[in-house]
């Protein structure tokens, strides 16, 4: 299974960069995980031939920095530039009912199969209905994507043993109590990786507001860099 970071910013992308969007590939299976700004053009950079083929678009939640380009993908499908119907998974589906989409509302505990991949959904703690998503390939390798979430104890269980933790780490510290309900700090994500026994963590959903993020000393954790590609292989040592 391969993960490409198409866009890794929260709502304030840096110049020329994009909001939350991740491409998961496993053999012929292609899943777009969130589709914030820039995701459509980044997909076309990777797959220039039209129509574009995606097995599914999976939205963690409907905030614009994660779902902002869904209607551009709809236009693509309506103009025959994207395979139809496109399977579309989201915890909220009211504004996603279109003939080109095969829309499925996700819920806590739901499991589904897309091509060679199994997806498991867990409700996380955010301002709107939001799912953390575990993606597992046929070899048992897994990614757990937190979506946007504040810390809650169930997160450790949800992320348990994932090979790669892809986590919302937009807060630099705990100074903003209100934001802490909806997002994690860098330190919380480092702790989550350790407690859940994940092999590695990519800290994402960063804010580009001119303030530096703290340096990370855990060699199994890195900040997301747009365009990075990760091959998910078996655990070595925890
Ligand atoms: Zn967000
Ligand atoms: Zn959000």
Local confidence pLDDT in tens for the 238 residues of the chain:
999 999 999 988 988 899 999 999 999 999 999 999 999 999 999 999 999 999 999 999 999 999 999 999 999 999 999 999 999 999 999 999 999 999 999 999 999 999 999 999 999 999 999 999 999 999 999 999 999 999 998 999 999 999 999 999 999 999 999 999 999 999 999 999 999 999 999 999 999 888 899 999 899 999 999 999 999 986 554 4
Report how far ligand 2's centroid is from the alpha carbon of 6 (Å).
Answer: 17
- Distance, in Å, from the CA atom of 108 to the CA atom of 54, rounded to the nearest integer, reads 24
Report how far ligand 2's centroid is from the alpha carbon of 115 (Å).
Answer: 27
Of the bound ligands, which one is closest to the alpha carbon of residue 149?
A: 2
Query: How high is the pLDDT of residue 238?
Result: 43
Of the bound ligands, which one is closest to the alpha carbon of residue 171?
A: 1
Q: Which residues of 131-147 are buried (b: 16+ CB within 10 A; e: fewer)?
A: bbbbbbbeeebbbbbbb
Report how far ligand 1's centroid is from the alpha carbon of 229 (Å).
Answer: 21
Reduce the secondary structure of the chain to three states and give it as a string: CEEEEEECECCCCCCCCCECEEEEEECCEEEEEEECCCHHHHHHHHCCCCCECCCEEECCCCCHHHHCCHHHHHHHHHCCCECCCEEEEECCCCCCCCCCEEEEECCCCCEEEECCEEEEEEECCCCCCCEEEEEECCCCCEEEECCCCCCCCHHHHHHCCCCEEEEECCECCCCCHHHHCCCCEHHHHHHHHHHHCCCEEEEECECCCCCCCCCCCCCCEEECCCCCEEECCCCCCC
**Nearest Cα residue to 230 out of 184, 168, 170, 165:** 165
Residues bordering ligand 2, an ion, CB closer than 5 Å? 63, 148
**Fold of domain 2-231:** Metallo-beta-lactamase; Chain A (3.60.15)
Enter the tokens of residue 171: 């807060």
What is the domain partition of the chain in residue ranges? 2-231
Of the bound ligands, which one is closest to the alpha carbon of residue 205?
A: 1
Report how far ligand 2's centroid is from the alpha carbon of 138 (Å).
Answer: 30
Of the bound ligands, which one is closest to the alpha carbon of residue 63?
A: 2
Task: Show Cβ contacts of residue 207 under 8 Å, excluding neighbours closer than 6 positions.
Answer: 9, 10, 11, 12, 170
Task: Characterize the bridge pairing of strands 117-123 and 131-136.
Answer: antiparallel
Report how far ligand 1's centroid is from the alpha carbon of 160 (Å).
Answer: 23
Report how far ligand 1's centroid is from the alpha carbon of 46 (Å).
Answer: 24
- Distance, in Å, from the CA atom of 225 to the CA atom of 223, rounded to the nearest integer, reads 6
Q: In Å, how far from its chain's centre is CA 91?
A: 14
Report how far ligand 1's centroid is from the alpha carbon of 178 (Å).
Answer: 15
Query: How high is the pLDDT of residue 235?
Result: 55
Global confidence as pTM: 0.96
Report how far ligand 2's centroid is from the alpha carbon of 14 (Å).
Answer: 18
Report how far ligand 2's centroid is from the alpha carbon of 127 (Å).
Answer: 7
C-beta atoms surrounding 231 within 10 Å: 9
Report how far ligand 2's centroid is from the alpha carbon of 49 (Å).
Answer: 32
Query: How high is the pLDDT of residue 233?
Result: 82
Report how far ligand 1's centroid is from the alpha carbon of 197 (Å).
Answer: 25
Query: How high is the pLDDT of residue 237?
Result: 44
């Amino acid at each position: 299974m391969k993960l490409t970071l198409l866009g890794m910013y929260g709502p304030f992308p840096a110049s020329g960069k994009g909001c939350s969007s991740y491409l998961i590939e496993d053999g012929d299976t292609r899943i777009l995980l969130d589709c914030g700004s820039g995701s459509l053009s980044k997909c076309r950079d990777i797959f220039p031939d039209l129509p574009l083929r995606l097995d599914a678009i999976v939205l963690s939640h409907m905030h614009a920095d994660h779902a902002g380009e869904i209607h551009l993908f709809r236009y693509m499908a309506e103009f025959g530039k994207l395979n139809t119907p496109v399977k579309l998974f989201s915890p909220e589906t009211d504004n996603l009912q279109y003939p080109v989409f095969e829309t499925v509302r996700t819920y806590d505990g739901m499991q589904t199969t897309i091509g060679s991949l199994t997806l498991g959904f867990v409700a996380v703690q955010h301002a709107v209905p939001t799912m953390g998503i575990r993606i597992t390939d046929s070899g048992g390798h897994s990614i757990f994507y937190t979506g946007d979430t504040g810390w809650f104890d169930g997160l450790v269980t949800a992320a348990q043993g994932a090979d790669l933790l892809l986590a919302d780490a937009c807060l630099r510290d705990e100074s903003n109590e209100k934001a802490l309900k909806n997002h994690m700090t860098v330190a919380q994500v480092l702790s989550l990786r350790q407690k859940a026994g994940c092999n590695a963590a990519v800290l994402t959903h960063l804010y580009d507001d001119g303030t530096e993020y703290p340096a990370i000393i855990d060699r199994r954790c890195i900040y997301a860099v747009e365009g990075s590609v990760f091959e998910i292989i078996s655990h070595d040592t925890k």
